[in-house]
């Protein structure tokens, strides 16, 4: 980090700063804790404060909302003459939770269709919280599959947390086995945030100043878990107070929460209301076992809907693949296809709109013409 030029009180490496990020000359780094209209609450070495967007940021955002700063972003602050800073650039994102017509291009970058929105950036770990019991129901494996797909899609690493484990002591092992089968290659843990049992295992994923989000249905115990992780002694609050020296009570609602034991949690309403993100590769990753089985089907374009020689149906009949899981795969594939079509349609209508504007300008008598 180019910290030699200024002396701060907050160690940005605790916020996950990575020296490899390209910081433009003459700027200082900061992490976005929350966004408002035209400005962001940022945490820099000097403390936490609001930074307005520069003209450059506003121009870029008008072109494509995906370039707007979002919670979790690392940004470059440029000093203004009056001693304040403005937010002048968003540094490259290592991962992003996106909503709307945003897709990943072949190089792994994000391209928007003018409608998309990035909900959170630079998330390393995505906790998928599912209660062992939900009112009278057991853990919902289909919901776990869908959220794990979204997690893979974001570029973060999913970890499934079976919460409220105390409600389901008998048979917990069987439940965990079912969950592991529903999320191949994904770590699965049971915990009870109320008593703190298993919380240390969750904390370990955040070592090295990692950033996490928690997805999951209402009542899964997400807030209880965040509180258990945050503890009472939230690092940043103290440091900010020390930095401004006035003991000012910072009551700004923060969406990037530094945890006392290290690491950060992003908790925003947008992230909590899951289900609206684009899904493509994520679905394939969650159902890698079915994809593998499908390689054994007689027909290359087998739909696994009753064709002869279907290895997937054979696995269902042999009891090796739960029927529920196959249905869940079909459902999420349909959903992903629907979302892809919707974002294509949006892209087309946006193009049409731009063309109409161009045409209008062209036909305007006396304008742009000799
Ligand atoms: N039995 C039991 N109850 C828990 C546990 N963790 C949380 N709860 C309770 O479950 C309820 C919901 O917990 P929250 O933490 O508010 O759940 P949430 O996921 O944040 O819910 P939303 O804010 O609606 O998304 C509360 O009454 C908690 O006290 C647990 O480990 N065991
Ligand atoms: Zn098949």
> Is ligand 1 within 6 A of the CB of residue 119?
no
**132-173 pLDDT, tens per residue?**
987 667 888 988 998 898 888 888 999 999 999 988 877 889
Q: Are 43 and 85 in contact (CB under 8 A)?
A: no
Task: Decide whether any atom of ligand 1 lies within 6 Å of the 164 Cβ.
Answer: yes
Helix axes 323-363, 141-154, angle to 10 degrees: 40
Distance (Å, whole) CA 190 – CA 370: 73
Domains of the chain (ranges; CATH) run 3-93 (2.40.50.140), 123-272 (3.40.50.300), 287-363 (1.10.40.50)
| pLDDT, position 309 | 96
Give pTM, 2 decimals: 0.77
Residue with CA at minimum distance from ligand 1 atom 32 = 164
For residues 140 and 205, what is the distance between their CA atoms, to the nearest angstrom?
Answer: 24
Residue 98, both tokens: 């996106």
Q: Ligand 1, residues 129, 131, 219: which to mutate, most atoms within 8 A of Cβ?
A: 219
Residue 256 tokens read as 């990037």
Cβ count within 10 A of residue 271 = 22
| Nearest ligand atom owner, CA of 228 | 1
Q: Is the predicted pLDDT of residue 367 greater than 50, yes or no?
A: no
Look at residue 36 and tell me whether its pLDDT is greater than 50.
yes
Mean pLDDT of 33-39: 91
> Which of 189, 218, 224 best tests ligand 1's pocket when mutated (most atoms within 8 Å of CB)?
224
How far, in Å, is the centroid of ligand 1 from the Cα of 180?
Answer: 23
Q: What is the pLDDT of residue 157?
A: 94
Lowest model confidence (mean pLDDT) among 215-229, 273-287, 291-305, 349-363? 349-363
Tell me whether residue 260 is exposed, middle or buried, using C-beta atoms within 10 angstroms of its C-beta: 0 to 12, 13 to 18, 19 or more. Answer: middle
Q: Whose CA is nearest to atom 7 of ligand 1?
A: 221
Burial class (CB within 10 angstroms; exposed 0-12, middle 13-18, buried 19+) of 266? buried
- Asked whether 227 lines ligand 1 (CB < 6 A), one says no
DSSP result, 296-332:
TSSSTT--SSS-TT-HHHHHHHTTSS-HHHHHHHHHH
Determine the pLDDT at residue 163.
94
The ipTM is: 0.96
Q: Are 11 and 59 in contact (CB under 8 A)?
A: no
Mutate to test the pocket of ligand 1, among 197, 217, 223, 228 (most ligand atoms within 8 A of CB): 223
- Pairing assessment for the beta strands 96-99 and 117-121 based on DSSP bridges: antiparallel
Asked if residue 189 has pLDDT above 90, the reply is: yes
From the centroid of its chain, how far is CA 28? 25
Query: What are the pLDDT digits (tens) for 309-331?
Result: 999 999 999 999 999 999 999 98
**Residues marked as binding?**
163-166, 216-224, 297, 302, 304, 310
Q: Does the CB atom of residue 215 touch ligand 1 within 6 A?
A: no
pLDDT digits (tens, 9 = 90+) for 277-289: 556 678 888 899 9
């Amino acid at each position: 980090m180019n910290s030699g030029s200024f002396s701060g009180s907050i160690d940005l490496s605790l916020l996950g700063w990575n020296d490899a990020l390209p910081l433009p000359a003459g700027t200082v780094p900061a992490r976005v804790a929350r966004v408002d209209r035209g400005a962001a609450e940022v945490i820099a070495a000097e403390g936490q404060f609001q930074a307005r967007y520069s003209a450059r940021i506003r121009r870029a955002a008008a072109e494509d909302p995906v370039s707007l700063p979002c919670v979790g972003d690392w940004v470059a602050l440029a000093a203004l003459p009056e001693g304040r800073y403005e937010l002048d650039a968003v540094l490259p994102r290592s991962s992003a939770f996106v909503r709307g017509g945003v897709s990943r291009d072949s190089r792994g970058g994000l391209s928007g269709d003018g409608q998309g929105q990035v909900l959170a950036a630079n998330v390393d770990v995505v906790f998928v919280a599912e209660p062992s019991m939900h009112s009278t129901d057991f853990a919902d494996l289909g919901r776990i599959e869908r959220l794990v797909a979204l997690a893979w899609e974001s570029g973060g690493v999913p970890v499934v947390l079976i919460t409220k484990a105390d409600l389901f002591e008998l048979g917990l092992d069987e439940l965990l086995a079912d969950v592991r089968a529903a999320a191949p290659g994904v770590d699965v843990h049971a915990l009870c945030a109320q008593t703190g049992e298993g919380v240390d295992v969750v904390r370990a994923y955040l070592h090295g100043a990692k950033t996490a989000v928690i997805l999951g249905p209402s009542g899964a115990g997400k807030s209880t878990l965040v509180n258990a992780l945050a503890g009472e002694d939230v690092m940043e609050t103290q440091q900010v107070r020390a930095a401004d020296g006035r003991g000012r009570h910072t009551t700004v609602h923060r969406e990037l929460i530094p945890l006392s034991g290290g690491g950060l949690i992003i908790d925003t309403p947008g992230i909590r209301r899951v289900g609206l993100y684009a899904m493509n590769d994520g679905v394939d990753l969650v159902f890698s076992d079915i994809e593998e089985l499908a390689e054994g089907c007689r027909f290359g374009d087998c739909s696994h809907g009753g064709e002869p020689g279907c290895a997937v149906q054979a696995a269902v009949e042999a009891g090796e693949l739960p029927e529920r899981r196959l249905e869940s795969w079909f459902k999420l594939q349909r959903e992903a296809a629907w979302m892809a079509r919707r974002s294509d349609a949006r892209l087309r209508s946006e193009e049409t709109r731009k063309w109409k504007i161009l045409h209008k300008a062209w036909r305007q008598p006396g304008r742009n013409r000799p």
